[in-house]
Structure 1
């Protein structure tokens, strides 16, 4: 079994490329995951699609065939040549795939290093794939350890001590242009996490904020939480020509603001399109200052420099966590444990055979027969149990069973052989000692 990650992000792809590769709704995402898992080389798949990245993470039996299949499906959807996709993509396999996953979960690969949204986005992507049956135990192990690594990074460094996101960077960009937004009318379209962060920042800076969303009830909830007002979505064509400030971050598959509804105004407008696919598509020069995700790199680069020292500490944690993960995977092989169980049982049989012969309960000339009989009894007794152990080794609960076995085969000094040590050891031993 191998791990494979194919990544398109702000580092290697333009917004146009990421836009074509994005999956804005669950229906398209479900269909894509189904097609990816059609390959005999791919066992499980997770796909994460955000404004800054589209990544496919899978377990596979053949890296070359799996990679080829993924690119074929992506080129069919995005209508981008395989040559261009291969030239842009970052491809990670096995240890490098896990290291990359842990880095992404820890926000070290984000445009804004230390931002807190990516962990939640990864969890949503994993939960969706798992619930729909597109992934199982193999990727679940990797994802759970990725979240564990991200938690260690947050606890051991200050990289997320002052949470920053694309939304807060966008507001910072607005403030750098206008110096102050106090008293200015601002329209926030959408009610997702990006919109929530934006609205709160604008309200805290004194802007007169309105929330707009296709589902008005969601707009009311966000407006109440932020101290903003609500505007009906059907007033969009009028609002874009009345508001000085506009932030939009919807999941619409097509632009919601186009040339048809934009009119000339006697004031400057500042628009921030934080969506992918993009929400705004216009070609007029109507005193509109439009900023998109990739236009925010200057502030992002400054943020990266300020957090460089903490990022180095975080990378060290990611590296150690990657090594620990593969060491732990090695412990999940059931066969060495079964071998040790038989070995311990045969040793016990030998000790008991030696005892009864020494005490002359059985004549010494029958020593070989006694030992053979004892071992045969042990084999017959353990056969059904070891067969069940092998049969559940691929089940979702196998990690728990493996941990219990590790506890059972430890020696009298409460020590477990190095080859069996894993994250379950301490917790199981502590529960057993209470």
Structure 2
């Protein structure tokens, strides 16, 4: 079985393509994961869908066939030609797949290098597959290690500080345009996680925030979490709000545009709308004094961000490279450690059996039992030291599986001592 990742991101697809590939709700994700796991070549799968990427992370017995089957399902889901998707897709297997997953978790593959949301989104995608039993031991190990890697990157660099999300980048662009934000209203549409982040940055940048959502109660609850006053408006007032407020940032999960030409009036003042949703919330609109920015239009700030973070990113990539290699060493150790433990356990059992027989036959007395046991265990430890050391060194070799199987056979061990049948070790996230 091989690790397999298939990636569509801002690097290989435009926003129009990502809109068609997006999975806006759990029902769509669930249905798609069920479909791809019907493939006999695929054993586990996780689906990550954000404004900047769609990732399928899986385990496959035949990565080439499995990747084509997955892309074929994506083609049917998105109504995009198979050849177009296959040509765009970044397909990675085993070492490169793990490296890619670790890079994604560490926010090195993001539109905004170091953005803080991606690891949470990846954790949510992982938990979803885990809850549906689409994800088992092998992907669990890889994902837990990716979170460990992300934490190491955050601790060793400053990539997780400052303006490091699409929301904060949109607000930074708005502030750059407006300059003096005191008393300037900014409309936020939606009451989800992205809207919460947007409000936080708008307030810190000096804007007066107006919030609206289809769910008025949810919007009010979100507004009440902030110490600053947030004006909450009914969603039916959206057309009026759009034509009265100069700055608007929308981040809903609607599967279709909610802001259309027919509700947009011509205004004498300048308006700046930021659409950070995928699929987009704003359709193509032609109106004077109106500037519309999509996720991809924020690239200018992103490029500045990347240049400032270039040195930090080098350090982060070194961590990802190191931990990608460590992950496979760790997997091998999971296979070897039970074998070594079994050797010592069997040796202890033999010592215990022989001492009991010696006591029963009067070869030794009860007072000498503990000292003799310690002596036997010292002999066992010294005898197994070299084999243990050798087996551990072999764990990093490509022939590890063959050697371990031979040791299991020689010592009469059950193959279940292999790491494949052991529960996944919990790794601190």
The TM-score normalised by the length of structure 2 is 0.81
Task: Trace 1:295-310 onto structure 2 (pairs within 5 A).
Answer: 295-310=297-312
Aligned to 1:331: 333
Q: Secondary structure of 2:186's match?
A: strand
Deviation at 1:283, TM superposition (A): 3.1
Pick the aligned partner of 1:263 from 265, 287, 298.
265
Q: Is the 8 A contact 2:98 2:142 kept in 1?
A: yes
Aligned to 1:160: 160
**For the structure 1 residues 360 and 221, does the alpha-carbon distance in structure 2 shift closer, same or farther, using more than 3 Å as the test?**
closer
Aligned to 1:321: 323
Aligned to 2:385: none
1:273 aligns with 2:275: yes
**For the structure 1 residues 208 and 163, does the alpha-carbon distance in structure 2 shift closer, same or farther, using more than 3 Å as the test?**
closer
Write the distance in 1 (CA, Å) between the matches of 2:296 and 2:265: 26
Write the distance in 1 (CA, Å) between the matches of 2:306 and 2:174: 19
Q: Is the 8 A contact 1:21 1:54 kept in 2?
A: yes
Deviation at 1:269, TM superposition (A): 1.0
Write the distance in 1 (CA, Å) between the matches of 2:293 and 2:424: 50
Q: Secondary structure of 1:203's match?
A: helix
Aligned to 2:116: 116
Q: Secondary structure of 1:333's match?
A: helix
Write the distance in 1 (CA, Å) between the matches of 2:288 and 2:248: 14
Q: Is the 8 A contact 1:22 1:50 kept in 2?
A: yes
Q: Is the 8 A contact 1:188 1:248 kept in 2?
A: yes
Aligned length: 376
Q: Secondary structure of 1:159's match?
A: coil
Deviation at 1:390, TM superposition (A): 4.7
Deviation at 1:186, TM superposition (A): 1.4
Write the distance in 1 (CA, Å) between the matches of 2:363 and 2:177: 98
Write the distance in 2 (CA, Å) between the matches of 1:122 and 1:25: 15
Aligned to 1:394: 421
Q: Is the 8 A contact 1:332 1:399 kept in 2?
A: no
Aligned to 1:31: 31
Q: Secondary structure of 1:160's match?
A: coil
Deviation at 1:242, TM superposition (A): 1.6
Task: Trace 1:174-189 onto structure 2 (pairs within 5 A).
Answer: 174-189=174-189
Deviation at 1:285, TM superposition (A): 2.6
Deviation at 1:3, TM superposition (A): 0.3
Write the distance in 1 (CA, Å) between the matches of 2:276 and 2:352: 70
Unaligned runs of at least 5 residues, structure 1: 362-384, 401-422, 425-434
Write the distance in 2 (CA, Å) between the matches of 1:84 and 1:388: 45
The TM-score normalised by the length of structure 1 is 0.80
Deviation at 1:268, TM superposition (A): 1.4
1:203 aligns with 2:206: no
Write the distance in 2 (CA, Å) between the matches of 1:201 and 1:339: 56
Unaligned runs of at least 5 residues, structure 2: 365-411
Q: Is the 8 A contact 1:211 1:222 kept in 2?
A: no
Deviations 1:32-55 (A, max 9, x none): 111111110111100100001100
Q: Is the 8 A contact 2:265 2:287 kept in 1?
A: no
Aligned to 2:66: 66
1:131 aligns with 2:131: yes
Deviation at 1:399, TM superposition (A): 3.8
Write the distance in 2 (CA, Å) between the matches of 1:51 and 1:398: 31
Aligned to 1:169: 169
Write the distance in 2 (CA, Å) between the matches of 1:317 and 1:231: 46
RMSD of equivalent CA atoms: 2.8
**For the structure 1 residues 337 and 69, does the alpha-carbon distance in structure 2 shift closer, same or farther, using more than 3 Å as the test?**
farther
1:7 aligns with 2:7: yes
Structure 1 ranges of 4+ moved more than 6 A: 349-352
1:340 aligns with 2:343: yes
Write the distance in 2 (CA, Å) between the matches of 1:103 and 1:252: 29
Write the distance in 2 (CA, Å) between the matches of 1:214 and 1:331: 52
Write the distance in 2 (CA, Å) between the matches of 1:314 and 1:338: 36
